Structure 1
Amino acid sequence: MNRHARRVAWVSVLAIAGFFALWLAIDRVLYLQQGVQLRSLYQTYTDYQEGKAATRHLALDNHVTFTVLDGPADTTRAKLLNKLVDQQRTIVGHTTTMQVNGNAEQVYVGRQNEVFIGVWQRRASLLSVAPAVAWGMVAVFALGLIALLALMRRRHRYWVGHLAKMTGNLARIQAGGVPEPIILTPDSPFLAMGKQIDSLHAATKELRSNVEMRQATFGRLIDHLPLGVMLLDADRQVLLSNQAMAALVGHPIQETKHDYFDDIKTYRLARMIEHTYRNQKTHHKELTMLNTQKAVDASVIALNRGMAELQVLVILYDVTYLRQVEQMQLDFVGNVSHELKTPVTAISGFAETLLAGAKDDPKTLDQFLHIIYDESSRLTQLITDILTLSRPDSGQAQAKPVAVADLVAEALKSLQQPIADKQLQVKVAVPQDLTITTVPAKFSQVVRNLLNNAVFYNRQGGVVTVAAKADEKNLHLSVQDTGIGIAENDQERIFERFYRVDKARSRHNGGTGLGLAIVHDMVQQLGGEITLESQLGVGSTFKVTLPLADLPSFYKG
């Protein structure tokens, strides 16, 4: 039985008890009044009998019976009265109720000259005295009780309904929804609670908005971090990850919770994570990812140490480029040492030979001096190229108008001898009026090195084609040769320093292996780009695109 049912039961019991208490009170009043009336009748009877012979039994019209105990008890009332007097000697002057032939009668007991007299009358009750009033009271009580129960039910539905709505509103607020509007009167007991719920909704809405904004900001921050980030819970489930982590593991990472083994395929990294879970200590190593072959600096950090909800944060920093740069630096140092050692060794050796006596032979002296001169020139060119690559741009060079056709002609003029030796055909398709604003020294380096490359690596009797044109935004320069060409697997590295497709032939031609690296750096400094199209044994075409207007700001006057 619920609380409301118990309340209804108690109210009903108390109402019925009150009704019967009222009914009994009325009957009690009638009993007392009837006792007074019987006493009055007794007094009248005794006054009336003073001058006449007493009668043992007298019945009046108002259902009043007199019984006189002056001899043997021969009637029912006389027997009852006799028994009553014998049992209660103090009954004289009082009234009591007795059952006579199945009916309740009220008797007043008096005594006159040692003779007991009983005045009998049927017991008065509300139902017998005023039946209409009695049934009216029953009807009024029943209607009142029904009205009371109906009011209680209505009140209960009012309370339960409002409490249910307010409980639902609290659940909606907790779930992030909008509470259902409730109309409350100014005297409603729920008015204060309704205002508190509205205030709670407003505060929760603002709090959720702030949390969502911070979460979105944090998500954007995590997504734009160059570090790979992954957060794991105590069950080794992925709670959070970013795009950098997906790029490092080599596939997209699900946003829903899942086991980290679905993403981490690198054994060493998985082992670090497991050690962190077991020991609750931070681990740090540099390793190579299995799927992407990227070198990463991995840190696995234990969060909430000593607590049941242990979390593990995995941070991967891509150091592939740094390792490549380090390797390039090592290669550069090794290549520079090797390239410098060759001419220096030659110069030292021939000089030592001359000092040992070869200088006395004019023919040998002349030959060795030419060799020393060629090697020293090669050494000078190598040092110049290295300085060109390593010298930072001071920002003092200013962009100036440059006639492209004149610059190409000047570069070809310095190559007349090797062009004649190889019997090369040179085709120039550059408009005479083509002028661009650029840094002359850098643009000259680009043109000269590309032409040197096209001449020295061309075949005997080949063709060199130089073309240039300009559109609204860019200058397009191409240098094409019919030389040895470049294999596809070498094309990605052709702009690296000291990289040669044919190392023996490069040294024979006097190349340093830095020409295309210089071209690449100069083009980048001028804000342009260079591409290569080549086929092994057919030839190569280098295409340079330079902006006409958007030079870097430090080149503008």
Structure 2
Amino acid sequence: MSSRINRQVIWSSLLAIAGFFIIIVGVDRLLYHQQTAHLKAVYQTYLDLDEKASATLAKDQAVVITPLVGKPQTQRQKLMQDLIDRERTIVGRQPVVVRVGQTNEQLYIAERQHNHFVGLWQPKATLARVAPTTMVWFTSGYWLVMCGLLVWSLRRHRYWTGHVATMTHNIARIRTEHNVSPIILTPGSPFLAMGTEINRLEQTVAHLRQKVLLRQASFDRLIDHLPQGVMLIDADRNVLLSNQAMATFVGHPIAPDEHNYLDDVKTYGLARMIEHTFRNQKSHHKEMTMLNTQLSVDANVIALKAHADREQVLVILYDVTYLRQVEQMQLDFVGNVSHELKTPVTAISGFAETLLAGAKDDPATLEQFLTIIHDESTRLTQLITDILTLSRPSDAPAKHTAVDLAGLVKQALTSLAEPIAEKALTVDVAIPETLTIQSDDVKLSQVVRNLLNNAVFYNREQGTVTVTATTADHQLTLKVADTGIGIATDDQQRIFQRFYRVDKARSRHNGGTGLGLAIVAEMVQQLGGDIDLHSQVGVGTTFTVTLPLA
């Protein structure tokens, strides 16, 4: 039992005891007044009777009548005389209570004649003396009622405190996202309205939490699928939020729990921007390269004011690696084009100038220089054609027609008959004559022509060129293999780049532009296929082109 209940029980008991004695005192006081009136009435009757009748009256009324004349003789007369001497005002007034022997008696003193007093004595009337049975019943009933009230109040208190505790517990469970404990309330219960409101509150809070969870889940999915790296940092430098893109930028998974951002951000420039943003509360923007991944990013560090005294910083990283690569490729392309164009133009200009200076008068020199000018102009034309081919939009729709693949290969080999004969190459073509596919004949022709050009020009003397084509699972597989110089492993990663040559001297001697394989890769991609390379230095090279069949 709690101390609060103990205090309530003690106070209730004290009040019950006080109430009991107040009632008893009140009843005794009422009996006192009734006895006073009775003694006065007996005295009035006594005045009208003789001595014999007075004795009879006293006996009937249980009253002792004591005249006081002359010197007191008995104990009662002495008590009367003493009271009159000490306090004469009691004569004819309210009775006084006097102790006679072992009994309290009520004494009423009256003056019958001059200095002739009469005292009327009667045992003091109390509830215990007048009605002992009533006293017992009253006492028993009173304390039974008080005990019943105490038990009832304790049970009522337990009812109230129990329900209040349950409802308080339910509110706490709602706050901590737990189900409420059931509580049974009668229709007349004072807690019915409160219990109903708590149930409604639980439903409302559950609905709101569900909406918050859905919104949080949507927000998390949005953040996780953003291509930009996002990281939210609080004033204690702890990471509150991050996404997968940010983990890609920093080069390792980011822990979901709160931790210092320096555990993830190892790039000094970015960490410095974050610290400056915290100190100055000013957003910063800069482009940099991430330390671990070497990715080029456009970094925005934004100062946020989450609360009046709690700053936050939002870090957003945009991947600009591809843009910078494209820019570099454009610069390299312009530089390469300028260099490649400059060579034939310089040769044409130089030999033409030499002819104009007088070399045209020598027939042998004239023929030699004109042949060189023709070859260089042809190479210049081929270079411009290849550049225009690569400059066409890659998203242009392919024009699918029925293409005779064997005919395309035969046509390309016919144009290469002279270099094939010079190197005494053996050409094996294993393509069914009836093989016809739906594809873009122009783009496919460029693929075949450039692959065969490489297979011939980079082959060894008396080497072999093998061309095969098969269809299976709605795919065309075209293989062009040679027994040439091969391609080193390091060069295989760059062989499809524009203007890249494995053997620059031989390529220029053969009139190559360095764009053939770049054109092949571009055309294959536009046709929706793949190209694969397998090569070994000194052994040969095999290109495998896989195209979907319409």
TM range, smaller chain: over 0.9
Range with bigger deviation, 161-170 or 299-308: 299-308
Q: Distance in 1 between matches of 2:157 and 2:189?
A: 14
Secondary structure (helix, strand or coil) at the match of 2:402 reads strand
In structure 2, what is the equivalent of residue 105 of structure 1?
105
Q: Distance in 2 between matches of 1:27 and 1:273?
A: 92
8 Å CA contact 2:229, 2:318 repeated in 1:
yes
Q: Distance in 2 between matches of 1:395 and 1:243?
A: 34
Shift of 1:93: 4.7
Range with bigger deviation, 452-461 or 518-527: 452-461
> Which structure 2 residues correspond to residues 144-543 of structure 1 after superposition, within 5 A?
144-304=145-305, 307-392=308-393, 395=396, 398-543=399-544
8 Å CA contact 2:90, 2:109 repeated in 1:
no
1:51/1:183 Cα in 2 relative to 1: closer, same or farther (>3 Å)? closer
Range with bigger deviation, 67-76 or 370-379: 67-76
Q: Distance in 2 between matches of 1:459 and 1:91?
A: 162
> Which structure 2 residues correspond to residues 19-34 of structure 1 after superposition, within 5 A?
19-34=20-35
8 Å CA contact 1:107, 1:118 repeated in 2:
yes
Q: Distance in 1 between matches of 2:186 and 2:485?
A: 96
Q: Distance in 2 between matches of 1:367 and 1:93?
A: 170
One-letter code of the match for 2:422? D
Q: Distance in 1 between matches of 2:328 and 2:169?
A: 66
Q: Distance in 2 between matches of 1:76 and 1:394?
A: 142
1:394/1:328 Cα in 2 relative to 1: closer, same or farther (>3 Å)? closer
One-letter code of the match for 1:538? V
In structure 2, what is the equivalent of residue 555 of structure 1?
none
Runs (5+) with no aligned partner, structure 2: none
In structure 2, what is the equivalent of residue 94 of structure 1?
94
Over residues 254-307 of structure 1, what are the superposed CA-to-partner deviations in whole Å (9 max), with x where a residue is unaligned?
101111111111111111111111111111111111111111111111100883
Range with bigger deviation, 461-470 or 337-346: 461-470
> Which structure 2 residues correspond to residues 109-148 of structure 1 after superposition, within 5 A?
109-114=109-114, 115-148=116-149
One-letter code of the match for 2:192? L
Q: Distance in 2 between matches of 1:534 and 1:447?
A: 18
Q: Distance in 1 between matches of 2:187 and 2:327?
A: 79
Q: Distance in 1 between matches of 2:309 and 2:349?
A: 74
Q: Distance in 1 between matches of 2:75 and 2:541?
A: 150
Q: Distance in 2 between matches of 1:73 and 1:254?
A: 113
Q: Distance in 2 between matches of 1:45 and 1:334?
A: 153
1:392/1:94 Cα in 2 relative to 1: closer, same or farther (>3 Å)? closer
One-letter code of the match for 1:548? L
Q: Distance in 2 between matches of 1:453 and 1:75?
A: 162
Shift of 1:326: 0.8
8 Å CA contact 2:398, 2:526 repeated in 1:
no
Over residues 348-386 of structure 1, what are the superposed CA-to-partner deviations in whole Å (9 max), with x where a residue is unaligned?
000000000000000000000000000000000000000
Over residues 319-357 of structure 1, what are the superposed CA-to-partner deviations in whole Å (9 max), with x where a residue is unaligned?
111111111110000000000000000000000000000
Shift of 1:24: 1.7
Please give the TM-score of this superposition, normalised by the length of structure 2: 0.95
8 Å CA contact 2:281, 2:303 repeated in 1:
yes
Number of aligned residues = 547
One-letter code of the match for 1:68? P
8 Å CA contact 1:280, 1:305 repeated in 2:
no
Over residues 221-240 of structure 1, what are the superposed CA-to-partner deviations in whole Å (9 max), with x where a residue is unaligned?
11111101000111000000
One-letter code of the match for 2:439? T
Shift of 1:44: 3.7
- Alignment identity in percent? 62
Shift of 1:26: 1.5
Shift of 1:403: 1.6
8 Å CA contact 1:295, 1:320 repeated in 2:
yes
Secondary structure (helix, strand or coil) at the match of 1:346 reads helix
CA root-mean-square deviation: 2.1
Over residues 134-186 of structure 1, what are the superposed CA-to-partner deviations in whole Å (9 max), with x where a residue is unaligned?
11111111111111111111111111111111111111111122212222122
Q: Distance in 2 between matches of 1:461 and 1:150?
A: 120
Range with bigger deviation, 416-425 or 68-77: 68-77
Q: Distance in 1 between matches of 2:75 and 2:367?
A: 180
One-letter code of the match for 1:67? T
Range with bigger deviation, 88-97 or 428-437: 88-97
Range with bigger deviation, 298-307 or 221-230: 298-307
Runs (5+) with no aligned partner, structure 1: 550-557
1:393/1:301 Cα in 2 relative to 1: closer, same or farther (>3 Å)? closer
In structure 1, what is the equivalent of residue 49 of structure 2?
48
Secondary structure (helix, strand or coil) at the match of 1:480 reads strand
Q: Distance in 2 between matches of 1:126 and 1:371?
A: 152
One-letter code of the match for 2:221? R
Shift of 1:398: 2.1
1:393/1:285 Cα in 2 relative to 1: closer, same or farther (>3 Å)? closer
